[in-house]
Amino acid sequence: MKVPVLALAAAFSAFSATAAEKADTNPDWIRKPTAAQLLVVYPVEAMRRGVSGAAVIECKVSLEGALFECRPISETPAGMGFGAAAVALTPQFLMKPATRGGEPVVTVIRLPINFRSQGAGVPPGGQRLLTQVAWTSAPTYAEAAAAFPIKARDISTPGHVALGCTIKADGGLTNCRTISEQPKGLGFGKAARDLAGRFRAPTTTPDGALTKGAQVHVPVTFAIEMLGAAPRIGKAQWVSLPTGDEMENSLPPAARTTGGRVVLDCRIIAGGHVEDCQVAEETPAAQGFATSALSVSDKFVLSLWTAEGLPTQGGRVRVPVRYTPQ
């Protein structure tokens, strides 16, 4: 089988810089996927037919240079899976984050990704890549912080690792290898592999297929905040939310004709559930919205690991709840 060629380009928005802003920088590449790594995500039917394609995806670049919250903007030809394939490839990327005033900042980028086939072929046997895995178990914030390499801790240096692993029958991970590690030589790769045993994936996919034997990419970020007291969990994804009926039934009758908004500040515990929720904001006040939000807080469940590669259990999250008048 001929190996398809991967062509990548990054489109970053330009900005004008005054003399005081000359230290500002845009994201820049540290690592891109290889053609061999592309084989794992190349759409199966497109490869069988020898079809080339392209996609544009939009992502955020984290403070450590990892890509997260990626979504397809366009794909050609449509319906062949190149958009989803491009998103599945993103754990393989690593960038230098943008800086403003000399400090790293989160930015949004768009990536045109070209998939070039060199003829029809058969995908490699047994290579299934699962993306957006809803982990049933993952390292806690305390466990990830404890794994922070001593050498990196001594010089207050953060790091990011992408692992490639195989899912076992029980959902655990095996045969984990380091796909990318930045910076190298400080022990981040080994620390991430040591944490791999804490992950558990579902044993079946949403359509009922077994996950045993599938490949998975696991981003692991060792944030500088892990050396301090305030956890940084990044942006967790919602796994479960209260239903509309549960929200409505929790409201006092007088509040159902009035719109409102509440923000809860909660601690994330085992399984992605929340506890110790406190009312951070309530508008309008004293109309029953805060009581309503607190009464359904046990229905909120978040992901245990973020797309940025950060743990959530042990951190705190702000939960916005909006009520629309009936």
Report whether 67 contacts 95 (CB < 8 A): yes
Q: Say whether 302 sits in a helix, a strand or coil.
A: strand
Same-domain pairing of 261 and 298: yes
Region 297-317 average pLDDT = 93
Q: How many whole angstroms separate alpha carbon 197 and alpha carbon 201?
A: 11
pLDDT higher than threshold 70 for residue 78: yes
- At 5, the pLDDT band (50, 70, 90 cuts) reads very low
Domains: count for the chain = 3
Q: Is residue 121 part of a domain?
A: no
238-240 and 274-283: which strand pairing? unpaired
Same-domain pairing of 250 and 304: yes
Same-domain pairing of 13 and 112: yes
* Prediction pTM value: 0.75
Single-letter residue type at 322? R
Task: Kindly give, in sequence order, each residue whose CB lies less than 8 Å from that of residue 230, ignoring residues fewer than 6 positions away.
Answer: none
What are the residues facing 8 on neighbouring strands? 113
pLDDT higher than threshold 60 for residue 106: yes
pLDDT higher than threshold 90 for residue 326: no
- At 255, the pLDDT band (50, 70, 90 cuts) reads confident
pLDDT higher than threshold 70 for residue 66: yes
Task: Kindly give, in sequence order, each residue whose CB lies less than 8 Å from that of residue 83, ignoring residues fewer than 6 positions away.
Answer: 55, 57, 72, 74, 75
Residue 265 has what pLDDT?
95
Q: Is residue 233 part of a domain?
A: no
139: nearest Cα among 256, 311, 2 = 311
What domain range includes position 297? 238-323
Instruction: For residue range 118-131, list pLDDT tens digits in order.
Output: 766 555 544 678 88
Report whether 46 contacts 114 (CB < 8 A): no
Q: Is residue 122 part of a domain?
A: no
Q: Is residue 311 part of a domain?
A: yes
Residue 120 has what pLDDT?
63
215-222 and 129-130: which strand pairing? parallel
Same-domain pairing of 255 and 295: yes
The fraction of the chain above a pLDDT of 70, given in percent, is 90
Element (H, E) at 68: strand 67-76
Instruction: For residue range 262-304, list pLDDT tens digits in order.
Output: 999 999 999 999 999 999 999 998 888 999 999 999 999 999 9
Residue 127 has what pLDDT?
61
Residue 22 has what pLDDT?
57
pLDDT higher than threshold 80 for residue 9: no
Residue 287 has what pLDDT?
86
| Residue of 199 and 15 predicted with greater confidence | 199
Single-letter residue type at 92? Q
The CATH number covering residue 280 comes to 3.30.1150.10
Region 15-37 average pLDDT = 70
Q: Which of the listed residues 86, 116, 146 is the one where a domain comes to its end?
A: 116
Residue 15 has what pLDDT?
36
pLDDT higher than threshold 80 for residue 36: no
The 10 Å Cβ neighbour count of residue 239 is: 15
Look at phi and psi of residue 59 and say left if phi exceeds 0, alpha if psi is from -120 to 50, else beta: beta
Q: Is residue 218 part of a domain?
A: yes
The dihedral through the CA atoms of 186, 188, 190, 194 has a sign that is positive
Q: Which of the listed residues 62, 86, 116 is the one where a domain comes to its end?
A: 116
Residue 231 has what pLDDT?
77
Same-domain pairing of 250 and 163: no
Instruction: For residue range 170-219, list pLDDT tens digits in order.
Output: 999 999 999 889 899 999 999 999 999 999 999 998 888 899 999 999 99
What are the residues facing 163 on neighbouring strands? 178, 218
Residue 157 has what pLDDT?
94
DSSP H helices, 10-69, are 35-41, 44-49
Q: Say whether 255 sits in a helix, a strand or coil.
A: helix
Q: Is residue 173 part of a domain?
A: yes
| Residue of 142 and 92 predicted with greater confidence | 142
Same-domain pairing of 175 and 147: yes
The CATH number covering residue 175 comes to 3.30.2420.10
Residue 124 has what pLDDT?
52
Q: Say whether 151 sits in a helix, a strand or coil.
A: helix
Report whether 160 contacts 309 (CB < 8 A): yes
Which range has the worst mean pLDDT, 68-72, 163-167, 293-297? 68-72
Q: Is residue 123 part of a domain?
A: no
Q: What is the mean pLDDT of the chain?
A: 86
| Residue of 118 and 134 predicted with greater confidence | 134
Same-domain pairing of 162 and 261: no
35: nearest Cα among 2, 7, 5 = 5
Same-domain pairing of 100 and 139: no
Q: Is residue 31 part of a domain?
A: yes
Q: Which of the listed residues 68, 91, 116 is the one where a domain comes to its end?
A: 116
Residue 308 has what pLDDT?
87
67-76 and 260-268: which strand pairing? unpaired
